[in-house]
Amino acid sequence: MLGKLMKYDMKYMARVLPWLYLGAFGMSLIFTLLGILSARSGMESLLVTVLLGIIPVMLMLAALSVCSTVFMMVRIYKNMFSDEGYLTFTLPVRSREIVWSKLLVGAIWNLIGSIVTVAVVAMPITAVFVTLARTYPEFASEISGYTEIFGSLIDAYSDVPGFVSGLISILLHGFVSLFSTNALFMLSCCLAQLLNKNRGIASVGIYLGLNFLLSSITSFGSRVTITMPADIPSEVYIPELGPFYAVTERFSATSYASVIITAIVTGLAIFFSCRIVKKNLNMV
């Protein structure tokens, strides 16, 4: 039954979000064409285009993220905690399947949104760099030199303790983040249902409070781990790049601390959401 619930939730989200993503791709395509034309005209023209286009791009990315999140939150609240919820919980499914359907579908759309965000940013940047490399040979040689330097830095950093694990922790943090926002909002809605009135406003207030609490705990964990001594072996220490090497191990510890804290809070939010929906709301 979980699969059927996810199917209907996916259809609901597909009514709006794909059009939002197509709009983002359309704007990215416009910026790509403007960037190519400006790059062919000269660096001054390209600079003007970048300065004029950076604000619309930032607004577009913000709208993409906010609209996706808000639309998923509206789906959670309307389908479970408004009048529509009376129909939802009459379905022959377990209450936790309803909770997990919302969370899994939200995670899928969050992942799609992240991929779209990377694509709409990478498309104009890549097009501009390729155009500049073809138009100005000296630019191509400079880019080639920077690429070699970047590759040598990656090779050097790969031997530093904590660098590879730090990259892994970033991926883990991204995975947990796919669930964390919707899980916290789900718990906020569940807690608000225990009140007698103003449940919608209470859901938003509780959600903001939980986010502030999570940010405070994560910040505290980061402060604790960032003060830990970094043991960087002398054979991989390069004086010219000392500051970067010095923070590598601390960054790894700090990143893992953030992942663990966020994962624990997300897990607790899911557990208590399922618990409240099943017990306190008398839903089966």
Percent of the chain at pLDDT above 70? 73
* pTM for the whole structure: 0.77
Q: Tally DSSP H helices, then E strands, for the chain.
A: 9, 0
The per-residue pLDDT for range 149-168, each reduced to its tens digit, is 555 555 555 555 556 666 77
- Look at 131 and 282; give whichever has higher pLDDT: 131
Give the mean pLDDT of 237-248.
Answer: 47
Q: pLDDT-based confidence at 128, cuts 50/70/90?
A: confident
pLDDT given at position 103: 92
**What residue type is assigned to position 98 of the chain?**
I
DSSP 91: S
- pLDDT of 89 reads 76
Q: What pLDDT is attached to residue 242? A: 47
Domain boundaries of the chain, sorted by first residue:
1-135, 138-284
Predicted local confidence at residue 5, as pLDDT: 85
Which whole number is the average pLDDT over 35-54?
Answer: 74
What is the b/e burial string over 262-272, where b = at least 16 CB atoms within 10 angstroms of the residue's CB?
bbebbeebbee
Residue pair 254/263 in contact by the 8 Å Cβ criterion: no
Average pLDDT over residues 93-106: 88
Give the pLDDT confidence of 77-96 residue by residue, as tens digits: 888 888 777 777 777 888 88
What are the structure tokens assigned to 120, written together? 């709409």
pLDDT band at 270 (very low <50, low <70, confident <90, very high): very high
First to last CA, the chain: 14
d(CA 262, CA 265): 5
Convert the pLDDT of each residue in 179-232 to its tens digit.
Answer: 988 999 999 988 888 887 778 788 888 888 888 888 887 776 666 555 554 444
